[in-house]
Structure 1
Amino acid sequence: MTQSNTVTVHILDKEYCIACPPDERNNLEGAARYLDGKMREIRSSGKVIGADRIAVMAALNITHDLLHKQHNLDQQTTSTRDQVRDLLERVDHALANDDDAQAH
């Protein structure tokens, strides 16, 4: 990629130049801000020392949140699918009863 396709982001007081397509620039900057915030939270807690360890803890926390949200979304999708299936069965049943009533 050319120099114009690089984005400079700051994460935990360090500067990183990252190759990035122009249409992904805003997403990359948002991700970098989010990561920087998570790493600063961990550093300020004083429980984790060292940039590498802070980065790993931030990655674990972010991954945990992502997997938790994915699991919840999967459960909601299954629940919605079941509700739609139930409604379709009710509609089919109501239509069948309506057809029977009109036949008599």
Structure 2
Amino acid sequence: MKQIEVQILQQSYLLACPEGQEARLLDAVERVDTAMTQIRDTGKVRARDRIAVLAALNLAFEVADRETAAAQAAHAQPAEVLASAPQESAGEERLSQLLLRLDEALGDDGRVS
């Protein structure tokens, strides 16, 4: 198993990686870093652990949306596939709602109230 040093939100991590999977790992690191950076840059969330949780939730929503779209595509006619594809604005709206709900649930100290 190979070890790769990466940067996520300007912090170094040493990750184990199966041989031949370096590109996939680096792609995953890029996705996580981008998601966390976008959340941090909104200015609403500063705690690294809260940023990580929000990024994980956002990525999980993206995976779920893709799985739902793929399942619908497998059972839909070609014209229905285009109509049922998830919209980017809907994902952004879900993120905004999720951020609001998380901020309501967590106090200023980052703990559930």
Same fold (TM over 0.5): yes
User: Which residue does 1:72 correspond to in 2?
Assistant: 69
The residue type paired with residue 64 of structure 2 is L
Moved over 6 A (4+): none
Q: Provide the aligned C-alpha RMSD in A.
A: 1.0
Instruction: Output the CA distance in 1 between the equivalents of 2:57 and 2:18.
Output: 27
User: Which residue does 1:26 correspond to in 2?
Assistant: 23
User: Which residue does 1:100 correspond to in 2?
Assistant: none
The residue type paired with residue 21 of structure 1 is P
Which has the larger Rg? 1
Query: How many corresponding residue pairs?
Result: 77
The answer to whether the aligner puts 1:9 opposite 2:6 as a matched pair is yes
Name structure 1 gaps, 5 residues minimum: 81-104
Among candidates 52, 56, 60, match of residue 55 of structure 1: 52
The residue type paired with residue 8 of structure 1 is E
Give the drift of 1:78: 1.1
Instruction: Output the CA distance in 2 between the equivalents of 1:30 and 1:8.
Output: 13
Instruction: Output the CA distance in 2 between the equivalents of 1:77 and 1:7.
Output: 38
Give the drift of 1:22: 2.0
The answer to whether the aligner puts 1:42 opposite 2:42 as a matched pair is no
Normalising by the residue count of structure 1, what TM-score does the alignment of the two structures yield?
0.71
What per-residue deviation string (whole Å, max 9, x for no partner) do you get for residues 64-99 of structure 1?
11101110110000125xxxxxxxxxxxxxxxxxxx
What per-residue deviation string (whole Å, max 9, x for no partner) do you get for residues 27-61 of structure 1?
00111011101100000001112110000000000
Name structure 2 gaps, 5 residues minimum: 78-113
Give 1 or 2: higher helix fraction: 1
Instruction: Output the CA distance in 1 between the equivalents of 2:10 and 2:33.
Output: 9
